[in-house]
Amino acid sequence: MFEIVVKKENHANALDKEEELKLLKEDFDVLVLEGQENRNNDWGEFGPLTTLFVHLSNLFFWIMGPIYQPRDSLGDIARYKEMDIEYTREGDHELIENAPISLRVLALVAFYGFFLGSMYFGIHEGGYLKRIIYPSAWLLGAVMFPLILLRMYNSRFNRSENRDRKMAEVIEDAAEKGRTIAIIGGLHEVENYFETENYEIIEPKVVEKTWSTVVDFLPRILKTYFILLSIYLITREIMAYLVNFV
């Protein structure tokens, strides 16, 4: 019996969620979940740049929330079984604080570039595609692209504060309390950093392209789009008012 079981997942895949619920019925002492326990909403705890990206990350997960599988039930089962629950990071502020100043500036420029581009096309262009579809896609880029830059750096290029290495350390530390199951994204390669060999990796389930899969996924995509569209329309009206006011 392996002391560490790492279940990798596609965060949007219901099949992975089903397998995780089945795995939790086994005899585990600790559950390790990717991410942090609570999303930080304290504007005053960090500096202005870090705070911007913390809330940008919050906004990203709010927009993408309908697509991702909820994990509340995993924590509920763990608490019911009186398992310890650990998380792989304290908060999203680690992503920006561990990045060099050059990458922080690039991420900031990317955010304002996409955001201002979205507002410009939304206010000045005509037609549904040019005023709605294109600008809302640019707004999504403003939310996603800076975070992708920071996450890629922390996962692939940051040798001292590499995310996969830190996740592996959290998992191995948790395993000192007892048999541990860790649920993380499929792209993480924590197995490259384990010091122990007493572990098992369970890869993400393959999603078959069937009609039932489309029926399940399409409403979540539409919900995410309408959340994004609502944010875009509200933001565009505020910016248009400010432009006209000035």
* Each residue's pLDDT tens digit, 186-225: 989 999 999 999 999 999 988 777 777 777 788 888 999 8
Give me the pLDDT at residue 171, please: 96
Q: How confident is the model at residue 44 (pLDDT cuts 50, 70, 90)?
A: low
Angle at 64 between CA 119 and CA 188, to 5 degrees: 120
Q: How confident is the model at residue 39 (pLDDT cuts 50, 70, 90)?
A: low
User: First and final CA of the chain: distance in angstroms?
Assistant: 68
Q: Which domain holds residue 53?
A: 4-245
CA dist., res. 92 & res. 56, Å (int): 10
Q: How confident is the model at residue 20 (pLDDT cuts 50, 70, 90)?
A: very high
Q: In this structure, which amino acid lies at residue 179?
A: R
CA dist., res. 1 & res. 7, Å (int): 15
Q: Helix 211-245 crosses helix 134-152 at what angle (to 10 degrees)? A: 100
More confident residue, 181 or 46: 181
CA dist., res. 12 & res. 6, Å (int): 18
Task: Write out the DSSP string of 187-222.
Answer: T--GGGT-S-S-EEEEPPPPPP--HHHHHHHHHHHH
Give me the pLDDT at residue 84, please: 95
Strands 84-87 and 180-185: unpaired
What pLDDT, in 10s, does the model give residues 141-197?
A: 998 999 888 888 887 777 667 888 899 999 999 999 999 999 999 989 999 999 999
What percentage of the chain exceeds 70 in pLDDT?
A: 92
Give me the pLDDT at residue 125, please: 65
Q: How confident is the model at residue 129 (pLDDT cuts 50, 70, 90)?
A: low
Reduced to 3 states, what is the DSSP secondary structure of residue 230? Answer: helix
Arithmetic mean of pLDDT over the chain: 85
More confident residue, 104 or 246: 104
| Sign of the dihedral defined by the CA atoms of residues 78, 83, 88, 93, in that order | positive
Residues 69-86 have a mean pLDDT of 92
Distances (CA, A) of 63 to 54, 133, 177, 221, 228: 14, 16, 36, 10, 6
* 188 and 164 Cβ atoms separated by less than 8 Å: yes
Residue with tokens 């919050």: 58
Give me the pLDDT at residue 170, please: 94
| Sign of the dihedral defined by the CA atoms of residues 188, 192, 193, 194, in that order | positive
Count of structural domains, the chain: 1
What pLDDT, in 10s, does the model give residues 93-111?
A: 777 888 888 888 899 999 9
Burial class (CB within 10 angstroms; exposed 0-12, middle 13-18, buried 19+) of 118: buried
**Strands lying side by side in the sheet with 84-87:** 84-87, 30-33, 180-185, 4-9, 199-202
Residues 99-128 have a mean pLDDT of 85
Give me the pLDDT at residue 38, please: 72
